[in-house]
Amino acid sequence: MNQSLQKLKTKMTEHELDLIYIDEPNLVGYFTGFESNPHERVLALFLMNNNIFLFTPSLEAKDAETHSSIETIVSYKDEENPWTIIESHLSSYDQPIKRMGIIENNLTVERYNHLMHSTNAQETMDISSAIQDIQLIKSTDEINKMKYAGEMADKALEIGMNALKVGISEQEVVAEIEYEMKKRGISEMSFQTMVLFGDHAGSPHGNPGERTLKEHEFVLFDLGVVAEGYTSDVTRTVAFKSVSQEQKDIYEVVLSAQKAAQSAVKPGMTTGALDEIARSIIEEAGYGDFFTHRLGHGLGKTVHEYPSLSKGSTMVVEEGMCFSLEPGIYIENQIGVRIEDCVYVTADGCIPFTRTNKNLITL
Ligand code: MN
Ligand code: MN
């Protein structure tokens, strides 16, 4: 039984649960080592006090046997009703299920109804926050995977920068990056790759489109890849040909906020204090109203996890946490600058997953 599963088992005991049911593919991968997207079919982990099994569509059973750490694989064919098979398998254990742990924000009503019927459970408990706790601190193995995802994100930035030329559109640059990543074995980006030109970056969540590149404007890249089931996330804003002094000044404010936060990271402080360090620099420069989002977010198997680095957050930074530091200044319809690195916390500081130069790059 791997470490994460062991921790889940401890939570199960703490909360006096008879069964934990998990069918979110990312979490099934996290707890069993079997990464798969079953789409509409049922792929689920059933964890009980003395028993554990992985339920899979039959076409995945062989792979699950090979790749998961779970010995008992129960599977169903497309023409069979998965819930009938689950029900009869559960009854073979002869262990009554009273309290069941589920993930409320993920389990569909349809599956919930089937599950209640198949298990005869009397009550459920949402175990989302217990799982967030487990995922908060990353193992060396997880950090190594994230380092690789970071390296590939640096590569993606390089590809994006090399693609820039007058007249190219944002979506053409996105296509170039993703095509080159696919050729390098990356099958999935962490989220929709963002490439925004000039005034288009004035909204922190803009959509790349047909806007074409002109000289003397900024280009904002925000991207990440999924590698071995772990994500990366990085943002760089670069100048295409020379930019104005005002543009440079804004860039320098964001850069000093980002660097100050990154060098301040230390176990024992709160994530709210980190937000404050970056925010106060931007406020003092007079751009406080234009830094419109939190400083950062945790990441790991998914690109948004705990902790949250927001104003007033009291969560304490611990060794092994992984999160982004991404201050920005956005002036609507004019300019957007964001600089983002994700880091992992060490005993006395932090180390970034991405290494692309942060000083203003002019192409
Ligand atoms: Mn981010
Ligand atoms: Mn990002």
In angstroms, what is the span from residue 170 Cα to ligand 1's centroid?
A: 20
| Span from the CA of 247 to the centroid of ligand 2 (angstroms) | 21
Ligand closest to 224 (CA) is: 2
Q: What residues does each domain of the chain span?
A: 3-135, 137-352
> For 224-265, how does the pLDDT look when each residue is reduced to its tens digit (9 = 90+)?
999 999 999 999 999 999 999 999 999 999 999 999 999 999
pLDDT digit string, tens, across residues 5-17: 999 999 999 999 9
pLDDT at 1 > cutoff 80:
no
Per-residue confidence band for 205, with pLDDT thresholds at 50, 70 and 90: confident
CATH class, domain 3-135, is: alpha beta
How far does the centroid of ligand 2 lie from the alpha carbon of residue 223, in Å? 6
Q: Rounded to the nearest whole angstrom, what is the distance from the C-alpha of residue 22 to the centroid of ligand 1? A: 26
Evaluate if residue 157 carries a pLDDT over 90.
yes
Residue 43 has pLDDT above 90, yes or no: yes
Distance 237 CA to ligand 2 centre (A): 12
Q: Helices (DSSP H) in 68-139: which residue ranges? A: 82-93, 109-119, 128-136
In this model, does residue 93 exceed pLDDT 80?
yes
Between the CA of 221 and the centroid of ligand 2 the distance, in Å, is 8
Distance from the CA of 257 to the center of ligand 2, in angstroms? 16
Q: Tell me the CA–centroid distance for residue 28 and ligand 2, in Å.
A: 25
Long-range CB contact pairs, 343-348, < 8 A, 24+ = 343/262, 343/265, 344/138, 344/143, 344/146, 344/320, 345/265, 345/267, 345/317, 345/318, 345/319, 345/320, 345/321, 346/319, 347/267, 347/319, 348/266, 348/267
CATH node for 137-352:
3.90.230.10
Q: How far is the CA of 327 from the centre of ligand 1 (A)?
A: 10
pLDDT of residue 204 exceeding 90? no
Ligand 1 centroid to Cα of residue 233, in Å, is: 6
At 317 the pLDDT is: 98
**Among 80, 232, 206, residue whose Cα is nearest residue 144:** 232
Q: Are 295 and 311 in contact (CB under 8 A)?
A: no
Higher pLDDT, 94 or 35: 35
Distance 297 CA to ligand 1 centre (A): 6
Stretch 83-108: mean pLDDT, rounded?
95
Q: pTM for this structure?
A: 0.92
Q: How many angstroms separate the alpha carbon of residue 245 from the centre of ligand 1?
A: 27
Fold agreement between 3-135 and 137-352: no
Q: How far is the CA of 3 from the centre of ligand 2 (A)?
A: 29
